[in-house]
Amino acid sequence: MNIDDWKSQIKRGTLEFCILLLIKQRPTYGYEIISTLEKYPIIAAKENTIYPLLRRLLKEEFISSTWQESAEGLPPRKYYSITDKGLKYLSAMAVEWDNLLHTINELKGA
């Protein structure tokens, strides 16, 4: 029984959803996203997964970005915020997510 394989498939399938949910809460930058995800092992992912994924979401115009040359001592940060297209995509994902949870609950025979 290899539960890790299955867990990594779940991670791969839901990371995009999780990142969009995070960015929807408020504009945020890469390091903050990675640190937040780190708190939840089931969706924790490394830089070489998150940054290319963010770039793809940008290309598909689900998110937008602005550089902020921030105050003293802090590095410049690239902030991501969600676009209208991203919001639509996110709500479509939320519908499917509820659908999945509902299905699983039913299958569990609750």
> For residue 49, which phi and psi values (nearest 5 degrees)?
-100, -45
DSSP per residue, 26-49 = S-EEHHHHHHHHHTSTTT---HHH
Site for other proteins in 74-103 (CB under 8 A): 74-78
* Binding status of residue 1 toward other proteins by CB under 8 A: no
Candidate residues 14, 49, 81, 83; the one interacting with other proteins per rule CB under 8 A: 49
Candidate residues 47, 61, 96, 98; the one interacting with other proteins per rule CB under 8 A: 47
> Closer to other proteins at the Cβ: 35 or 105?
35
* Binding status of residue 46 toward other proteins by CB under 8 A: yes
Candidate residues 21, 22, 44, 93; the one interacting with other proteins per rule CB under 8 A: 44
- Cα separation, 54 vs 33, in Å, equals 10
Find residue 31's DSSP bridge partners.
none
DSSP per residue, 52-90 = HHHHHHHHTTSEEEEEE--STTSPPEEEEEE-HHHHHHH
Minimum distance, C-beta of residue 20 to other proteins, in the bound complex (Å): 16
Binding site for other proteins (CB under 8 A): 4-5, 7-8, 11-12, 29-31, 34, 41, 44, 46-49, 51-53, 55-56, 59-60, 67, 73-78
